[in-house]
Structure 1
Amino acid sequence: MKHFTVTVLARGKKTEHRLYAEGKKEAHYMAKVKFPGILVKVEESSPPLEEQFAQFKANLFKNAKKKKLKPDSQIAAINQLAVMTNAGISIHDSLAELADATEDKTLKEILSKCGEDINAGSSLYNAMNNFRSQLGGLTLAMVELGEKTGNMAEALAKLAVMLEEIRMNVIKFKKAMAYPRNVMIAMAVAFSILLSFVVPQFKEIFEQLGANLPLPTRILMFLSDMLTQYGLFVLAGIAVIYLVIKYMIDHNREFRYGFHQFLLRLYLIKGIILYSTLNRFTLVFSELVRSGIPIAEALDTAINMTDNLPLKEKLTTVRSAVEKGSTLHEGLEETGLFENMIISMVSAGEQSGQLDTMLNKVTEYYKMRFDKIIDGLQEAIEPVMLGIIAVMVLMLALGIFLPMWSLGDAAMGRG
């Protein structure tokens, strides 16, 4: 909703009023109905600071209270929904039965609300679209595929397989990250204890002796003071910064775009995001093409399930190119995301009339690349982890021993 300032002339005086509307046309209509007098102008404006703060606070708490859907519960529900749909049970009755059977409160709420929306005349896709953040873009894409092809049971069964693959990849990722994460947490705790209890003791000794402290020692003393005197404020500041960044990512598209672009430049993270996105894109696209959906429409559906905005923007150019008369492989080549081998495979598929077969091979290739990154994640992150540990140990050693050596040299010189 946008904020508008409305100027009205009534009884010879101009007064300003504020209202929220979807657009200027709607704001103009609402102003005529709501405010008596002659409508002078309606212009979009920024809401007052107190309203902006109230909205920020409301959205912040709304996001904090939003419950996540457990992957296991979602996969089990989709599997059961596929079986019940295949058995000829209506979607509405299937959702109602699943809602009664599940013990997951979040899933129960989603299924019940979707059932109510379907009973009111909505499609399953539109009903589930209200819970996009919990269900995910892939679920919505496959449900839309089921509605378009008329084979919802098959689409749901494939969706369950895909979600299971994604869940297994997440589990593999967490297992690969467990060892380096635990080591870094242990090092951070040890470093914090040293800064809080050990470094202050040396600080008193150095101050009593009046030594000129080198840069590593001064940095160490600064960190120690920050932790001992302002530790709670630092933690509160980090929490506030995290919440503000999360709010901006959720509610500001430009900020979210910049954040996604930043992720694509990070070591290892960029590969995980790129290959997981291309794997999902080609997976959904190939299923749509195999089911007889036109290429432009299939591209639109597959692109809409892409979460990373810079990648989504590049993939959107494929659809534009196809609509202008270019071939699919030419559109893919323009994005700069796909390797020459993939472009050649798609081109061969187009020429031979076996595009869906080639797209399946492309999907398998990107799945292999993604699995390879996940399998080698622990090995790849070890140099980074060792580098961070080395910096922490070196900082601590230099910060404490350099001034001690200086004092020793000074004592020897006086002796």
Structure 2
Amino acid sequence: MQEFRYKARNKDGSATQGIIEAENEQAAASLLISKNIFPIDIKAGAESSLSGFSFGKKISRKDKVFFIRQLATMTKAGLPISQALSTLLEQSTKANVKKMIEQMTRDIEAGGTLSAAFGAFPETFTKTDINMIASGEASGKIDEVLVHMAVQTEKSYKTLKKIKTVFIYPAFLTLVVIGVVTGLMIFVLPQMEDLYSGFDVQLPIPTRILISLSHFLARYFLLVILIAVAIFVSLRIYTRTNETGKYIWHRFKINIPIVGKFVQLSYLSIFTRTLSSLVASGVPILDSLKIVSEAMPNVVYTDSIMQVRGKVKQGKSLSASVKEDELFPVLISQMIGVGESTGELDSMLKNMADYYDNELDAMTKSLQSLMEPIMIVIMGGIVGTIIICILLPVYSIQNFVKK
């Protein structure tokens, strides 16, 4: 499947444009016609603009959150989309955001839809965003959909910030430990070795091992750095471009002791909130599950959601399908079951998303309070071991001096 950018006219003759996935141009055209959209031009690839305008970098998550929230507020107040965009354009101070809004305004004023205007910026707006807008346009509830979208975007942004907050401190301390150990091995230990060489004593085995490592690092320091960087880059490429490597890495992330539980909670929050927003926007459940699977940042969850979708397509209920997958807690299947029986699936999913967000908040605080003492103990243990190995010969030297 590949993406095609199209210009077309609706059944009533109004202009529209957007992005569609298909095997080839002919398949894309057939798919559009089946939706009563009659293509004028279809091009492969994802250019930045239908008019050939070249855009700068994508906008930040923070700017995206602000843009959607402001747009939702204005449309909820009754402002037409084009007027709301014009107002946002006047308020915007960042060049890349202004360029984006200018192009969106031109597309809307030319008769295009808001979903097509969003679709012109795939580097900023996800398929979830575009499908939610399209469903809101079809149902005539674009203001409500934008509010849902604003809430979801804000929550996703906060979830990502929580994840970064948990891992920034350990990463910083790890770098500090590496720096301190490297300094001791390359600069301090050689000086101590010169001191010990003045005495005719045999150094303890731990000290001799440490001195050998010090010699190796001093001689091959740049080579060690290059090898470490090469291994890191190779693993990163392998886990990002190779499907097997990506699956192994993503499976490992959710199984790391303590931290894995936190990662799982973040994925469950994304799953429930995204699915809730899509269902509330009127997107069919099969389409919603496909969009959610693509929105998941972990391929293990992507595969599981697609398996759930396959079972739902065969006629099973969503709750029963989710219950059979070990990645989803029993609580989720139970709440989905309640939602299906009461016709309030979107509300139940939203409640579950809020529940997981609260769990994430509590776990973030717990992990932050745990990480500091754990990392300090590890750091102290490593540095302390090196210092003990350096000082061990002092006892042998004292005995030599007494003799």
TM-score, normalised on structure 1?
A: 0.70
Structure 2's unaligned 5+ residue stretches are: 2-21, 25-55
Alpha carbons 2:268, 2:356 under 8 Å: kept: yes
Alpha carbons 1:277, 1:306 under 8 Å: kept: yes
2:339 pairs, out of 349, 352, 359, with: 349
Tell me how far apart the structure 1 counterparts of residues 194 and 303 of structure 2 sit (CA, whole Å).
58
Alpha carbons 1:169, 1:374 under 8 Å: kept: no
1:257 pairs, out of 239, 247, 257, with: 247
1:366 pairs, out of 356, 371, 385, with: 356
Q: 5 Å matches for 1:167-316?
A: 167-172=157-162, 183-209=173-199, 212-225=202-215, 227-316=217-306
Q: Which moved more, 1:271-280 or 1:225-234?
A: 225-234
Report how far residue 136 of structure 1 moved: 5.0
Code of the aligned partner of 2:329: E
Tell me how far apart the structure 1 counterparts of residues 209 and 125 of structure 2 sit (CA, whole Å).
47
Structure 1's unaligned 5+ residue stretches are: 2-21, 25-65
- Distance change >3 Å, CA 294–CA 220, structure 1 → 2: same
Find out whether 1:156 has 2:146 as its counterpart: yes
Task: Give the structure 1 partner of residue 80 of structure 2.
Answer: 89
Find out whether 1:401 has 2:391 as its counterpart: yes
Report how far residue 307 of structure 1 moved: 1.6
- Distance change >3 Å, CA 342–CA 166, structure 1 → 2: closer
Alpha carbons 2:148, 2:277 under 8 Å: kept: no
1:75 pairs, out of 65, 82, 89, with: 65
Task: Give the structure 2 partner of residue 102 of structure 1.
Answer: 92
- Distance change >3 Å, CA 112–CA 369, structure 1 → 2: same
Code of the aligned partner of 1:89: P
- Distance change >3 Å, CA 219–CA 271, structure 1 → 2: farther
- Distance change >3 Å, CA 233–CA 127, structure 1 → 2: farther
Alpha carbons 1:342, 1:362 under 8 Å: kept: yes
Alpha carbons 1:306, 1:312 under 8 Å: kept: yes
- Distance change >3 Å, CA 331–CA 398, structure 1 → 2: same
Tell me how far apart the structure 2 counterparts of residues 257 and 119 of structure 1 sit (CA, whole Å).
45
Q: Is the helix fraction higher in 1 or 2?
A: 1
Code of the aligned partner of 2:371: I
Task: Give the structure 1 partner of residue 368 of structure 2.
Answer: 378
Task: Give the structure 2 partner of residue 340 of structure 1.
Answer: 330
Tell me how far apart the structure 2 counterparts of residues 264 and 194 of structure 1 sit (CA, whole Å).
35
Tell me how far apart the structure 1 counterparts of residues 203 and 120 of structure 2 sit (CA, whole Å).
60
Report how far residue 253 of structure 1 moved: 3.3
- Secondary structure of residue in 2 paired with 1:293: coil
Tell me how far apart the structure 2 counterparts of residues 224 and 118 of structure 1 sit (CA, whole Å).
66
Code of the aligned partner of 1:201: Q
Report how far residue 337 of structure 1 moved: 2.0
- Secondary structure of residue in 2 paired with 1:376: helix
- Distance change >3 Å, CA 357–CA 99, structure 1 → 2: closer
Code of the aligned partner of 2:246: R
- Distance change >3 Å, CA 123–CA 176, structure 1 → 2: same
Question: Percent identity between the aligned chains?
Answer: 28
- Secondary structure of residue in 2 paired with 1:314: helix
Tell me how far apart the structure 2 counterparts of residues 215 and 128 of structure 1 sit (CA, whole Å).
66
Tell me how far apart the structure 2 counterparts of residues 155 and 303 of structure 1 sit (CA, whole Å).
20
Tell me how far apart the structure 2 counterparts of residues 129 and 212 of structure 1 sit (CA, whole Å).
73
Report how far residue 309 of structure 1 moved: 0.4
Task: Give the structure 1 partner of residue 46 of structure 2.
Answer: none
Tell me how far apart the structure 2 counterparts of residues 241 and 309 of structure 1 sit (CA, whole Å).
23
- Distance change >3 Å, CA 304–CA 151, structure 1 → 2: farther
Tell me how far apart the structure 1 counterparts of residues 326 and 209 of structure 2 sit (CA, whole Å).
44
Find out whether 1:389 has 2:379 as its counterpart: yes
Question: What are the superposed Cα offsets for residues 264-308 of structure 1, whole Å, 9 maximum, x if unpaired?
Answer: 222343223211221121112223333443322222222221121
Alpha carbons 1:172, 1:375 under 8 Å: kept: no
Tell me how far apart the structure 2 counterparts of residues 349 and 219 of structure 1 sit (CA, whole Å).
64
- Secondary structure of residue in 2 paired with 1:366: helix
Question: What are the superposed Cα offsets for residues 356-386 of structure 1, whole Å, 9 maximum, x if unpaired?
Answer: 3332332222222222221212123235313
Code of the aligned partner of 1:392: I
1:165 pairs, out of 155, 175, 185, with: 155
2:136 pairs, out of 132, 146, 165, with: 146
- Distance change >3 Å, CA 78–CA 398, structure 1 → 2: same
Q: Which moved more, 1:237-246 or 1:260-269?
A: 237-246
1:318 pairs, out of 292, 303, 308, with: 308
Report how far residue 325 of structure 1 moved: 1.1
Question: What are the superposed Cα offsets for residues 323-380 of structure 1, whole Å, 9 maximum, x if unpaired?
Answer: 1111111110121122223322322332344333332332222222222221212123
